[in-house]
Amino acid sequence: MTSRSDDGMRDAGESRGDMLDLSALWAAIKRRKLWVLGPTVLALGLSFVAVNLVTPRYTGEARLLLENRDSFYTRPGQGGAEATSQQFDSEGVQSQVQVIMSRDLAREAIKRIGLVGNPEFDSGAGALSALKRLGVLIGLGAHPADRSPEERVLDQFYDRLLVFPVGRSRIVAIEFTSRDPALAARGANEIASVYLEMLEAAKQDTARSASSWLSTTIEPLRKRVAEAEGKVEDFRSRNGLLVGTNNTTITAQQLADLSTQLSSARSQQAEAQAKASVIRDAMKSGRTFEIPDVANNELVRRLIEQRVNLRAQIALESRSLLPGHPRIKELSAQLADLEGQIRAAAERTVRTLENEARISGQRVDSFTAALEGQKKNVSSANDKEVQLRALEREARTLRDQLEQYMQRYREAVARDTQNASPADARIISRAVEPTEPSFPKKIPIILVATLATFLVALAMVVSRELLNGTAGSPPGSNGPRRAPGWVGGGGAGAAQHPSDGDERRERIAGLLTHTGRVGRVPLAAADPEGALAALSERIAAPPADMAPLAVLLDGAGPEAMSARDLAELLSRHSRCVLVDLASDDDEPEELGFSELLAGEAQFSEIIMREPGSRLHRISAGRAGRRAVLAAPDIVEVALDALCETYDWVLVSAASGDESAVLAPLVGRAQGVFVMAGSIGNGHAMEAAYRLADLTTAPVALVVDKLEETVGVPFSVREHDAAMA
C-alpha cells in the first residue's frame, strides 16, 4: 500500500503545478492575447506571400543498385561463393557515394548536361548585376571570368546534387535539383550514366594493364621453365635415374624383382625340405603309400599293382598249398622283391626332393648376395634422387606459374573489349520529369512558420508574467490572501524584535501553559514568512527525508482561526497538504481518506486543490472521519507517504475527540497546534493540557498576534477560574 500511495501522491503533486498558478497565468495570457495573435497572423501572411514569390525548384531522382555483375562468361574461373563474397558492404556503399560526388565525374556530367552558360548554374553567364560589380570593385568577390567555366559551375552543381544510400541496402539515390523539371530529370540520369561508364572504363583499364604486364612476363617465364625441365632430364640421364613403369627408377625396380625372386626361392627350399622330411617319417612308420608324391609316381603305381596281384595269387594258392610249398615260396619271394622296389622308389623320391631343396638353397644364397649388392646401389642413388626431386619441384612450380599466367592473360585479353567488363552497378529507376516542385513545400512552411511564431510569442508573454511575479497569485488579487477571521498585525520585523511588553507576556504565558510544556505561537495573516518561521520553532525534528507532521485541533472559539486558514497561509511559501479529519465531508460522493485506506482509490484521486490557492486537501471520505481514526496503523503508513512528498503535512482533528482516539495520531506528529485565537480561550487551553500528556512533541496554542500589541487579556486568577 505504501508504494501505491507514494506513486499516486507523486503524480498528484507533479500534475497540479505546486509552484505555478495556472489559472492566473491563463488570465494573464488572455489579457495579452493581442501580443500573441498579432505576430502569429503576421507570420501567416508573410509566409504565404514568401512561398508564392519564391521560384519553385524541381528534383529528379535516379536510383542505382550496387552489385557484382561478374558471371561465368566474364570470369570463367569464378565460383558462386567468390561472387557472393564480393558484394558491397556498408563501407563499400559509402565509398561509391563519394565516387559519384567526385570532381572528375562532376566535370564530365557538367559537359554532358550542358550547364556551362546556363544562368541558373553559371555565374559568368550574362552581364554582372550592379551589386556583384560593386563587390568585385571593392574586393569582396572575384570576377567570374577569372575562373574556368567548369569551376564556376561546380559550386552550384554540388549545391543541387544529393547522393545518399537508401536505408540499409545497396541502393544509391541520385537527386538533382533545378528550376527546369526537364533539366532536373536529365541531370540525374546523366550523372548515373557517367558513373556507370567510369566503372566500366576502370575495369577495362585494369584488364589492359594486367594483360600488358602478363605479356612481358610470360615469355621469360617460358624460357625458365624450359631450362628447369632440361636440367631435370640431364641430371637423370647422367646419374642413371631413368624412370621405368609405375614412375619408379630402374634400380628400385631391380631391387623389387630380386626381393621377389629371393622370397620365391626360399619358399621352394622350405617346401622341398618339408616334403623330404615327411616322406622319411612315413617310410619309418610304414606309411609310404600315404604320401602323395610317392603314390602318384608311375613306377610305384605299377609295383603296387603287381604286389596286389601277387598277394591275390598267394591267397588263392594258399587254399590248396601249404606255406612250405615251392610255389608259395616263389610267390613270397616275388612279393618281397616288389616291396624292396617300392622302398627304393620312395627313397629316390626323397633324394630328389632333397636335391631340389639344396638347389633352392643355392638360389637363395645367390639371390641374397645379389639383393645386398642392389641395396648398396639403391642407397648410393638416394642422394642423387633427392637432388633430382628438388629440380623436379622447381620445374613443376615454374610450369604451374606459367600455366596460371597464361590463363590470366587470356582472361585479361578477353575482358579488354567493349561490354566484356560490366560495371558493378545498374540503373533500376531512371529519373522522370517531375510535375510537383520539391521546394518550396507551401503548406508545411506556412504551418511551421505560423506555429513557431505563435510559440515564441506565447513564451515571451509567459516569461514576462513570471518575471513580474503576478502569475503566482490567484486571479484578481493584488497581494497575499488574508485568511477569514484574522486581523492584520505586525510584520516579520516585529516578531524578530520583541518589546518589553512581549517579555512580560511571555512570562505570564509560561505560567499558564502547563509548566512550560504548552507553548504559544502568535501569527499574523500578512506575514507568511513569519508564520512559517514561528511554526518551525515549535516542531520537533522529523525523520530524515521526511516532512514534519503537525496535528491541528479547533479551539471552539468564535474568533479562532481554522485549520484550513493556517494551511493556506503555509501553502503560500511551501508545498502543503491538509488532511481534514475534524468533520465529515459535506459532499458524501467525494472520495477521501477512507477510500484510500480501503484500497478503493489512489492518492491522485483523493487529493483536491483548493480554488484560487496552492493548498492541497484530502477529505475524510464517504465512510466518515470515525472510520479513518479507527485504523491508526494504516493511517500512519499513508501519512508517511505524504511526508515523503510534501513540505508540510497538516492533520485537522476535533478537540472534543477522546484521548484514546487522538493518542495514535498525536503520538506520530512532530507538533500539535490548538487553534485558540486568544490566550483567554479556556477550552483550547484545556485541550492543550490534555494533549501534552499524550505526546512528547511540542504542543502550542495558535493565537492572533494582535493581542501582543493590545496587552494580556486575562490574569492567572481568571485562568484558574476558567479552568475550575
Are 466 and 504 contained in the same domain? no
Q: Is residue 215 part of a domain?
A: no
CATH number at residue 510: 3.40.50.300
Tens-digit pLDDT profile for residues 101-129: 999 999 999 999 999 888 888 866 654 55
417 pLDDT tier (thresholds 50, 70, 90): low
Residue 39 pLDDT: 92
Task: Read off the pLDDT of each residue in 453-467 and give the average, rounded to a whole number.
Answer: 87
Q: Which helix (H) or strand (E) covers residue 625, if one does?
A: helix 625-629
Q: Is residue 477 part of a domain?
A: no
Q: Which of 405, 429, 453 is the last residue of a domain?
A: 429
Share of the chain above pLDDT 90, in %: 16
Pick 710 or 432 by higher pLDDT: 432
Does some domain include residue 162?
yes
C-alpha dist (Å) from residue 607 to 20, 424, 602 = 17, 70, 9
For residues 718 and 216, which has the higher predicted lDDT (pLDDT)?
Answer: 216
Model confidence at 96: pLDDT above 90: yes
Higher pLDDT, 379 or 190: 190
Strands 58-66 and 425-429: antiparallel
Judge if 581 and 623 occupy the same domain.
yes
Of 438, 440, 441, 433, the residue nearest 184 (C-alpha): 433
Q: Are residues 454 and 556 in the same domain?
A: no
* Domain co-membership, 596 together with 699: yes
Written as one letter, the residue type at 128 is L
Average pLDDT, rounded, for the chain: 76
Q: State how far the Cα of 300 lies from the Cα of 294, in Å rounded to an integer.
A: 7
Residue 307 has pLDDT above 50, yes or no: yes
Lowest mean pLDDT among 11-20, 34-43, 323-332, 614-623: 11-20
What is the pLDDT at residue 146?
56
Instruction: Kindly state whether residues 76 and 45 are assigned to the same domain.
Output: no
Residues 36 and 66 placed together within one structural domain of the fold: no
Beta strands across the sheet bearing 161-165: 161-165, 171-178, 58-66, 425-429
Whether residue 8 is contained in a domain is answered as no
Confidence bin at 293 (pLDDT 50/70/90): low
pLDDT score, position 387: 81
pLDDT (average), residues 219-245: 80
Question: Do 294 and 152 share a structural domain?
Answer: no
Per-range mean pLDDT, top range of 237-251, 329-343, 600-614 = 600-614
What pLDDT sits at residue 377?
64
Please state whether the predicted TM-score (pTM) of the whole model is above 0.75.
no
pLDDT of residue 519: 79
pLDDT at 681 over 80: no
Q: Of residues 587 and 375, which shows the higher confidence score?
A: 375
Tell whether the model's pLDDT for residue 687 goes beyond 70: yes
On whether both 34 and 84 belong to a single domain, the answer is no
**Tens digit of pLDDT for each residue in 493-528?**
333 333 444 444 444 344 344 445 677 778 776 677
**pLDDT for 16:** 41
The answer to whether residues 658 and 517 belong to one domain is yes
DSSP 8-state secondary structure symbol assigned to residue 583:
S
The half-sphere exposure of 686 on its side-chain side, counting CA atoms within 13 A, is 16
- 502 and 533, same domain (yes or no): yes
Q: Report the C-alpha gap between 94 and 103 in whole angstroms.
A: 16
Instruction: For residue 1, tell me if it sits in a domain.
Output: no
Q: Per-residue pLDDT tens for 622-665?
A: 888 888 888 888 888 888 888 888 888 999 888 777 887 888 88
CA dist., res. 451 & res. 364, Å (int)? 117
Question: What pLDDT is attached to residue 210?
Answer: 81
Residue 705 domain-assigned (yes or no): yes
Tell me whether residue 240 is in a domain: no
pLDDT at 412 over 70: yes
556 lies in the same domain as 579: yes
Domain that holds residue 379: 246-413
Q: Considering its fold, how many domains does the chain have in total?
A: 4
Whether residue 142 is found in the same domain as residue 282: no
Residue 231 domain-assigned? no
